[in-house]
Amino acid sequence: MSEHEDRRDTVDEIDLDQWVKVWDERHTFEAHGLTEPEPGRDEPADGREKRSYIVSMYPYPSGDLHMGHAEVYSISDVIARFDRLRGYNTLNPIGWDSFGLPAENAAIKRDLHPRQWTYDNIAVQAASFKRLGVSFDWRTRLHTSDPEYYRWNQWIFLKLFDMGLAYRKASPVNWCPKDHTVLANEQVIQGKCERCGTAVERRNLTQWFFRITDYAQRLLDDMDQLKGQWPEDILAMQRNWIGRSSGAHVDFRIVGRDEPVRVFTTRPDTLYGATFFVVAADAPLARELVTDEHREALETYIAALGGTSEIERMASDRAKTGVFLGSYAINPVNGEQIPVYASDYVLADYGTGALMAVPAHDQRDLDFAKAMNLPVRKVVETGEDDPAATGVATAARGTMVGSGEFDGLPSAEALPAIIAHLEKSGVGEGAITYRLRDWLLSRQRFWGTPIPIIHCEDCGEVGVPEDQLPVRLPESGFSLKPDASQSPLGTATEWLKVDCPKCGKPAQRDTDTMDTFVDSSWYYLRFPNPDYTEGPFDPEGVKRWLPVDHYIGGKEHANLHLLYARFMTKALHDAGLLHFVEPFKRLTNQGQVIMDGKAMSKSLGNLVNLQEQIGQYGPDAVRVTMIFAGPPEDDIDWAAVSPAGAVKWLNRVRRLASAVPASSLGAAVATGDAAVRRGVHRLLDEITSKMEAGRQNVVIARLMELTTLLQQSIDNGPGAADPAVREGVEALVVALSCFAPFTADDSWAKLGHEPSVATSSWPVVDKSLIVDEEVTCVVQVNGKVRARLQVPAAITEDDLKALSLDSDAVQKAVGDAKIVKVIVRAPKLVNIALAR
RNA sequence: GCCCUCGUAGCCCAACGGCAGAGGCAGGCGCCUUAAAAGCGCUUCAGUACGGGUUCGAAUCCCGUCGGGGGCACCA
């Protein structure tokens, strides 16, 4: 009865701050030898030490941590702590993605320097991370807004510039009028600014780009290395985003023009069905091809397009419009002259900005043909109704018709045949294009890395010499709210002035800053030595820790950060700086924390406040709730889970630890109760394998079972002093430390151990304890369970078969029917198949 | 429209192709209590969205349909 009394005692509070202090003072979570072997510590000479590099996407300091942060860092912390306990030298770094727009907007609103808001928030978040008990190695700490960091961002930019991978060009780009900057393609979601939701505008501007398109094929090919290690949907998203399509380039001569115009088509088999030719109205080509008498009509059309928003323009059900340019293109396969139009349904920056229109077999071309009253000619017989009559293009494969020498061929065969024909005649060739565009990286904002380029009238774009890096942001003399499309740095008149490093003449700095996705495309390389001064990252540290073993973060970065980081890794590899081409071996995307089915976010309001939850339930219970709610990838509806339940369980564990007497400390476990040990080790076996599989929610369930089992062993079994009980409770506490570090260390101390449990080791499963002498064998007849037999675990298939057939229940179920087959899976299962 | 994912008790979720239910929440009953809360113990609840197929055997593999979530979308 006394145990019952004990259990009803209210549980004392854990001194959280004290534990944080203990961990800090003892350097509990620091990896060993970040860049070289630690003196006095054994490490295999061949460098094959077991190491684990666990990275969670670093936070943006937008305020205090919120529920979403708690989830990511809970998940990655479990992985890091598990690896540490199982003997891996583990690096779990932290840094801040501290350049970016919100800081600048906050600074404008409050009339202070963006730095202040940023670093204040970082301090708040750092304290919150400690309160959450996340096992970071704080020596890795970096902030991308520190000159010591962005200096190397500039260095990398110049490296890519030298490699020809960074270039400036004038092109139509996405402009967000609210955020007052251009945006990369990846930052425009359905025509709207990813950050503020404002409809983007199209502007012709000269901007810096990274040539990520050069890497399109490698970004696709190297996905083979990621299969099975990255979630399939992320790979699919990137595949779609890169958007490879294969077909042919075909040159069309234009009547009265020397230079032919090249088009891309995925359907060279339909070449004979081209009845007109279309160029993008906003491409220079339109103005080149227009005849004088149609010039005014074209200008009117282009002017009208200016009033169309990107969102309207992208609507695919919009009526087709266009204007005849007065010129004619010549179809290279049949010499036919077809009229040239300009339209906004052709995109200036995809393919060549021009296309051959085959209305019979392409819906968009057919819609345009109908609108302009142009002919429709079927060249592939698909057996469907005539597109000219139905208005529905037939895109399927079929048999070639009206295509000269190719008539009668299946279109699938005609396709390569026509490509061969084009190549032989020198008017085209097989070709691949990608939907992916180059990465637009310049931003017309202040709080970012200055682009380290000097514009000289004579020398053009000149990179800032390495010994002059970093190009620091000006401290004063600039405006955060400049006029028109000028950048804030453009107003820093003193800062702008610089002599050309090449010719010494007065010149001007570039006034744009870099997209913060440049910063994040390589930060994981710098963590092992964030103070390194000889380069962006320490080669020794990179050699020891990279690539990242397990990367954890949200899937909203599928086509942004994750794609950029993959590209940057390949580019730096090509520069000879990295020994690998993929930065993240394994990727886990955690879900979102939602409330009553509604997403929580800054714009929609954080419906649940993390600090309030921690205040009410404690950090451990919040963490356990996050993990136990479901698989890491799933969203958590906070309304559907129970932090109170987690508190209850954690208290049960602590009472258990209190109940185990000091007298059993150091007792030989082998003398413990055999049944208890069997139960404990059976659970530990499953806990270990689920942990390895990343099924953290299931691990919690098993730990709860283990808790119940141990409590029952105390109440109705061998009692609290039995060595088997101590063994079980200690194993429970060690495993718990991955999820609830405060409770675990508190319990570990109660059990009479020195801190910290994080420095102990993962329980070793004694497999000999979990093999059963006897097992229950299920006997099925036609797949239905008809009998259960207690059999020796080592029974032979023949014996088991005979035993099954002898059983009364089976004989009854079989009756007079003929036995066709007996499947024996000794010792657990027998299935008897009867004739039907 | 194309691609990817997920549909298991009232809810969150488990289940190497082998007995559908481990764990939690909620609900019910009980113990404790003068009483209530807390705590503790016990316990009800689905045949796996639907329809086919493969198999001795399917929640699991394949095809189709419906529904939820996500991505892309005038990309030639």
Q: How far apart are CA A111 and CA A479, in angstroms?
A: 11
From the CA of A545 to the C1' of B27: give the distance in Å: 52
Q: How far apart are CA A385 and CA A383, in angstroms?
A: 7
A350 contact to strand B (CB, 7 A limit): yes
A309 contact to strand B (CB, 7 A limit): no
Band (A758; pLDDT cuts 50, 70, 90):
very high
Section A617-633 average pLDDT: 94
A778 contact to strand B (CB, 7 A limit): yes
* Paired residues of A431 in beta bridges: A247
Section A640-659 average pLDDT: 91
How far from A159 is each of A146, A162, A385, A774, CA to CA, in Å? 20, 5, 57, 68
Closest C1' nucleotide to A308's CA:
B74
A245 contact to strand B (CB, 7 A limit): yes
Q: Which residue has the higher pLDDT, A620 or A43?
A: A620
How far from A425 is each of A12, A252, A268, A428, CA to CA, in Å? 87, 12, 14, 8
pLDDT, tens digit, 9 for 90 and up, residues A112-162: 899 999 999 999 999 999 999 999 999 999 999 999 999 999 999 999 999
Least trusted range by pLDDT, from A41-45, A391-395, A501-505: A41-45
From the CA of A131 to the C1' of B24: give the distance in Å: 26
Inter-residue contact A356 to A252 (CB < 8 Å): yes
Least trusted range by pLDDT, from A55-69, A136-150, A779-793: A779-793
**Residue A836 pLDDT > 80:** no
How are beta strands A819-825 and A784-792 bridged, if at all? Answer: unpaired
Section A309-322 average pLDDT: 74
Band (A8; pLDDT cuts 50, 70, 90):
very low
**Residue A823 pLDDT > 90:** no
A782 contact to strand B (CB, 7 A limit): yes
A320 contact to strand B (CB, 7 A limit): yes
Q: How far apart are CA A420 and CA A410, in angstroms?
A: 16
Inter-residue contact A590 to A72 (CB < 8 Å): yes
Section A22-46 average pLDDT: 89
How far from A161 is each of A165, A219, A451, A502, A547, CA to CA, in Å? 6, 20, 11, 16, 25
Please provide the DSSP assignment of A742-803 as one string: HHHHHHHHHTT--S-GGGS-PPPP-HHHH--SEEEEEEEETTEEEEEEEEETT--HHHHHHH
Cα dihedral A95, A99, A105, A108 sign:
positive
Look at residue A313 in the predicted model and tell me its pLDDT. 66
Pick from A357, A175, A195, A160: which is nearest to A273 by CA?
A357
Q: How far apart are CA A788 and CA A793, in angstroms?
A: 14
From the CA of A627 to the C1' of B7: give the distance in Å: 22
pLDDT, tens digit, 9 for 90 and up, residues A698-726: 999 999 999 999 999 998 888 889 999 99
Closest C1' nucleotide to A317's CA:
B74
Check residues 786 to 815 of chain A and report those whose beta carbon is under 7 Å from nucleic acid strand B: 788
Q: How far apart are CA A178 and CA A527, in angstroms?
A: 35
A689 contact to strand B (CB, 7 A limit): no
Look at residue A483 in the predicted model and tell me its pLDDT. 78
- Cis peptide bond prior to A470, omega within 30° of 0: yes
**Residue A7 pLDDT > 60:** no
Q: Name the helix (H) or strand (E) containing A812.
A: helix A808-814
- Cis peptide bond prior to A539, omega within 30° of 0: no
Q: How far apart are CA A3 and CA A6, in angstroms?
A: 5
How many other CB atoms are there within 10 angstroms of residue A768's CB atom? Answer: 7
A695 contact to strand B (CB, 7 A limit): yes
Look at residue A315 in the predicted model and tell me its pLDDT. 66
Q: How far apart are CA A305 and CA A326, in angstroms?
A: 20
Q: What are phi and psi of A781, to 5 degrees?
A: -120, 120
What ipTM was assigned to the predicted interfaces of this complex?
A: 0.94
Cα dihedral A119, A124, A127, A128 sign:
negative
Pick from A55, A54, A56, A50: which is nearest to A89 by CA?
A50
A750 is in an annotated binding site: no
A701 contact to strand B (CB, 7 A limit): yes
Q: How far apart are CA A747 and CA A636, in angstroms?
A: 29
**Residue A602 pLDDT > 70:** no
**Residue A600 pLDDT > 60:** yes
Task: Write down the H helix ranges in A660-720.
Answer: 674-692, 696-716
Q: How far apart are CA A748 and CA A729, in angstroms?
A: 9
pLDDT, tens digit, 9 for 90 and up, residues A64-84: 999 999 999 999 999 999 999
Inter-residue contact A527 to A546 (CB < 8 Å): no
Check residues 812 to 831 of chain A and report those whose beta carbon is under 7 Å from nucleic acid strand B: 821, 823, 825, 828-829, 831
How far from A124 is each of A99, A153, A353, A722, CA to CA, in Å? 17, 26, 50, 46
Share of chain A above pLDDT 70, in %: 96
Section A292-317 average pLDDT: 80
Section A611-619 average pLDDT: 92
From the CA of A697 to the C1' of B13: give the distance in Å: 9
How many other CB atoms are there within 10 angstroms of residue A794's CB atom? Answer: 13
Q: What is the dihedral of CA A782, A785, A788, A794, to 10 degrees?
A: 50
Beta-carbon contacts of residue A344 (< 8 Å; ≥ 6 apart): A280, A281, A282, A305, A308, A313, A321, A322
Look at residue A339 in the predicted model and tell me its pLDDT. 96
From the CA of A617 to the C1' of B9: give the distance in Å: 28
Q: How far apart are CA A82 and CA A460, in angstroms?
A: 54
A517 contact to strand B (CB, 7 A limit): no
pLDDT, tens digit, 9 for 90 and up, residues A409-439: 999 899 999 999 999 999 999 999 999 999 9
- pTM here is 0.93
Q: How far apart are CA A114 and CA A446, in angstroms?
A: 9
Rounded to the nearest 5 degrees, what angle is found at the Cα of A521, between the Cα atoms of A27 and A692?
55
Q: Which residue has the higher pLDDT, A700 or A47?
A: A700
From the CA of A662 to the C1' of B71: give the distance in Å: 57
From the CA of A640 to the C1' of B22: give the distance in Å: 19
Section A362-385 average pLDDT: 92
Check residues 13 to 42 of chain A and report those whose beta carbon is under 7 Å from nucleic acid strand B: none
Look at residue A824 in the predicted model and tell me its pLDDT. 85
Look at residue A504 in the predicted model and tell me its pLDDT. 93
Check residues 587 to 606 of chain A and report those whose beta carbon is under 7 Å from nucleic acid strand B: none
Q: How far apart are CA A748 and CA A726, in angstroms?
A: 11
**Residue A597 pLDDT > 80:** no
Check residues 415 to 434 of chain A and report those whose beta carbon is under 7 Å from nucleic acid strand B: 433
Look at residue A6 in the predicted model and tell me its pLDDT. 38
Q: Determine the distance from the C-alpha atom of residue A376 to the mean position of all C-alpha atoms in its chain, rounded to a whole number.
A: 45
**Residue A466 pLDDT > 90:** yes
Task: Write down the H helix ranges in A618-673.
Answer: 619-628, 643-659
Q: How far apart are CA A712 and CA A704, in angstroms?
A: 12
A247 contact to strand B (CB, 7 A limit): yes
Cα dihedral A207, A212, A214, A216 sign:
negative
Look at residue A5 in the predicted model and tell me its pLDDT. 37
Pick from A443, A468, A492: which is nearest to A195 by CA?
A443
3-state secondary structure of A716: helix
A318 contact to strand B (CB, 7 A limit): yes
Least trusted range by pLDDT, from A171-175, A308-312, A333-337, A522-526: A308-312
pLDDT, tens digit, 9 for 90 and up, residues A484-497: 767 899 999 999 99
Q: How far apart are CA A298 and CA A290, in angstroms?
A: 8
From the CA of A330 to the C1' of B13: give the distance in Å: 64
- Cis peptide bond prior to A74, omega within 30° of 0: no
Residues in chain A: 836
Secondary structure letter of residue A586 according to DSSP: S
From the CA of A317 to the C1' of B66: give the distance in Å: 26
Rounded to the nearest 5 degrees, what angle is found at the Cα of A728, between the Cα atoms of A8 and A756?
85
Cα dihedral A139, A142, A146, A147 sign:
positive
Look at residue A786 in the predicted model and tell me its pLDDT. 80
Which amino acid does the sequence have at A312?
E
Q: Which residue is nearest to nucleotide B5 (CA to C1')?
A: A233
Pick from A187, A48, A179, A786: which is nearest to A488 by CA?
A179
Share of chain A above pLDDT 90, in %: 67
**Residue A536 pLDDT > 90:** yes
Pick from A252, A274, A261, A226: which is nearest to A402 by CA?
A274
From the CA of A639 to the C1' of B26: give the distance in Å: 12
Closest C1' nucleotide to A191's CA:
B73
Residue A429 tokens, joined: 């060739």
Check residues 212 to 241 of chain A and report those whose beta carbon is under 7 Å from nucleic acid strand B: 232-233, 236-237, 239-241
From the CA of A698 to the C1' of B14: give the distance in Å: 7
Please provide the DSSP assignment of A111-173 as one string: TS-HHHHHHHHHHHHHHHHHHHT----GGG--BTTSHHHHHHHHHHHHHHHHTT-EEEEEEEE
Pick from A750, A584, A745: which is nearest to A660 by CA?
A750
What is the gyration radius of the CA atoms in chain A, in angstroms? Answer: 34
**Residue A9 pLDDT > 50:** no
Which bases of chain B are under 7 A from a protein CB atom? 2-5, 11-16, 18-20, 22-26, 32, 38-41, 56-58, 69-76
pLDDT, tens digit, 9 for 90 and up, residues A450-459: 999 999 999 9
Look at residue A620 in the predicted model and tell me its pLDDT. 95
Look at residue A4 in the predicted model and tell me its pLDDT. 36
How many other CB atoms are there within 10 angstroms of residue A47's CB atom? Answer: 10
